[in-house]
A = this chain, B = another copy of it.
């Protein structure tokens, strides 16, 4: 599977991964949410090669996640600002940070805390159900095909020549 194809898969996850699913892109987006806007800012914060940075920024602009906005004439210079589509990535970023906070911290504790202006407290993100408001656990979720479905992902196009599913081995 080529990465271009990913974006055409009938799977919202594959499509999203096709857009933001690589390490540098995720780190660039983290910087965006930390208010970095300029080429040099990204480069020095991340240590990414200038070549790759230029390429990734272009892709994010093409995808409508960042907007390239002029901030100075002669020489013309631009900064990169999150669009609404980009801002909508926030729950993904927070979910990633929260998993790291839970499973990847050392004895010193969390590197970064998040304060919710609304209530003034440091918080964790909690994923709840839009319908009943309760926290969602993986085990409580059943997936089923929606209108845009076809197959779950690539699945070799061959229509399963002979699905004979006889148990042929003794169980352990």
- Which residues in A have some Cβ–Cβ distance to B below 8 Å? 1, 3, 6-7, 10-19, 21-23, 26-27, 30-31, 33-34, 44-48, 70-73, 85, 87-106, 108-119, 121-132, 134, 136-138, 140-150, 152-156, 169-172
Contacts and interface: CB of A to CB of B under 8 A. Distances in A.
B46 A12 contact: no
A41 to B, nearest CB: 11
A71 B171 contact: yes
Given A16-B104, A110-B146, A110-B147, A73 B172 contact: yes
A148 B46 CA distance: 19
B97 A115 contact: no
B106 A95 contact: no
A62 B26 CA distance: 23
B22 A22 contact: yes
A137 B84 CA distance: 11
A104 B102 CA distance: 30
A156 B46 CA distance: 8
Contacts of A105: 12, 148
Most chain-B CB neighbours within 10 Å: which of A16, A72, A149, A171? A16
Contact of A137 (B23, B90, B156, B170): B90
Contacts of A33: 138
Contacts of A16: 96-97, 99-100, 104
Contacts of A155: 44-45
Given A12-B111, A47-B154, A90-B138, 15 more contacts: A15-B100, A18-B23, A21-B22, A30-B153, A44-B156, A47-B156, A70-B172, A85-B103, A88-B103, A90-B137, A92-B92, A109-B148, A110-B147, A116-B134, A128-B128
